Amino acid sequence: MEDSILHLLSNWKTLAANVGELTEDQSLDLLNYELLTKRRKNVVERLHMRHSGLKVKREREELLRGL
């Protein structure tokens, strides 16, 4: 995981202000890290929302590209 994004987990305000800039890989890395460390429900939910949204977008684009 990139050390430069780990600081986003320092508090909710920092995460909320920056979660929209995370890539699919970064959001998954932070989600897994949070699950292994502090396990804060609201942080896990927000990171999962970001990751799943990006994943769905990517998969939809791949699917439509094949039409």
Q: pLDDT at position 15, please?
A: 97
CA distance 62 to 34: 29
pLDDT < 70 stretches in the chain: none
Neighbours of 31 (CB within 10 A): 21
Task: Break the chain into its structural domains and give their ranges.
Answer: 23-67
Q: What is the pTM of this model?
A: 0.93
39-54 pLDDT per residue, tens: 999 999 999 999 999 9
Give the mean pLDDT of the chain: 96
Q: pLDDT at position 1, please?
A: 79
Q: pLDDT at position 34, please?
A: 98
CA distance 9 to 38: 10
Rounded CA Rg of the chain: 13
